[in-house]
Homo-oligomer: A and B are copies of this chain.
Amino acid sequence: MFIKTPHGIIKTPVFMPVGTAATVKSLSPTDLIDLGAQIILANNYHLFLHPGSETIKQFGGIHSFMRWPKPILTDSGGFQVQSLSKDIIAMCKIDDDGVTFRSHLDGGTLHRFTPEIATASQMDIGADIIMAFDDSVSENADRKRTEIAVKRTHSWLLRCIKVWKKSISHKPHAVSLFGIIQGGTFPDLLRESAKFVVSQNLPGVAIGGAVIGRDPKQTAETISVVRDLLPKDKPLYAMGVGVRPSDLVSVIKAGADMFDCVAPTRLARTGLLYHSESKNERIDISQSKFKLDKQVLDLDCDCHTCRQGFSRGYLHHLYKSKELLYYRLASIHNLRTMIRTVETISDPVKNPGT
C-alpha cells in the first residue's frame, strides 16, 4: 500500500522511528535517511510542553524546525498524559471533556488537553498524519473502565474530526487524521470501537491501548478480533509495536501496515543491541566477554555502524566509558535492523510469498 502525504509517499509496511521531542534521540535527519526511515513520529504531549506547539508553528512547522524533509506523524498525547503524569507525579484527572495533567518536566505546571486542544496543537506542529485524542486504557483496565474509555474515545473522535475538517477545508492534499480503536481485552468492545472508527471514513485507522505492543501474541490476537471490520484500502497502524525484530514479522502477518516503538533506540542506549544470531534477538554489549571481541557488531547488518566495521570490543569500550558516540552508533544499528526486517518481509524477491 502507498500512503500519500504532503511530504511524500510512504510505502507500507513501514516501521516508524520515534522522535519524541522533534529529534530521534542521538540521530540527525541525514542518519535517518541513511538507515531507510520513510517517516518518523513525534509526540504532541512533549512538544506541547517544550518548546511549545506555537513555537514550532513560528518556525514554519516541525519539518522546517528539525530539518526533516519526509513525512511526520504525531501521536496526540492521549497515551502520554495518562502514563507519564501517573508515573511521575500521580496527577492526571480525566473527565468526559478532556484531561488535566501536570507536566512531567517541571512536575508543577497544570495543563489541559481536550480533543480540540490536542488536535489544534498537532495542526500547529504541522505533522502529515495526526492522531485522534483518545482515552487510552491501561493493561489491567476492567470492563467498566474500558467501556467508559471506548465511549469517551468515540465522542472525542467526533470533536477531533470537527477541528481537523475545519483546518483542512481548503487543502485537498492536506494533513490526515487517523482514528484510534480502543477496547482493551474485550472482543465485543474492540469490535464496537472498530465499527465506529471505520464509519467515520478517515484516511487511516489505528489500534491502541496497552494491549497493543507489549506481547506480540496478544497484539496479533487483538488485531484479529477486528481485522474483518477494517477497510482493505486504508492503512492500519498498530501503536507501539516493535520491541524485537520478530514482533514486526508477527504484526505484519496480523495485518498491520504501520507501527512504531521507542524500544529500538531505548534498548540501544542501555547496551542492548539487536543481533541476528542471538537466541534472544539481542546482545548486551556491556558484558565483559565483548571486551576483546574483534568481530563487527553484526555481519548480517548493512547499517552505518556495521558497514564502517565498528567491532563489538570498541562498542563495549564506548559504552563502558559512557562516550556519546556509543548512543548514536547503537541507535543507528537497532533502527536499521528494524527497518531492514520490514524491507525484507515486503521484498517480493526475498519473500516470493508476499
Contact = CB atoms under 8 A, between A and B. Distances in A.
Given A59-B313, A328-B324, A308 B28 contact: yes
Contact of A294 (B23, B59, B311): B59
A196 interface: no
Contacts of A22: 314, 317
A233 to B, nearest CB: 37
Interface in A294-329: 294, 304, 308-311, 313-314, 317-318, 320-321, 323-325, 327-329
Nearest to A269: B324
A305 to B, nearest CB: 9
A325 to B, nearest CB: 5
Interface residues of A, number: 38
Given A28-B308, A59-B311, A59-B314, 12 more contacts: A21-B321, A22-B317, A23-B321, A26-B324, A26-B325, A29-B308, A30-B304, A30-B308, A50-B320, A51-B291, A324-B328, A328-B328
24 contacts: A22-B317, A23-B323, A26-B328, A27-B325, A28-B304, A28-B325, A28-B329, A29-B308, A30-B308, A51-B291, A51-B313, A55-B292, A55-B313, A59-B311, A59-B313, A59-B314, A60-B294, A65-B311, A65-B314, A66-B314, A67-B308, A67-B314, A324-B328, A328-B328
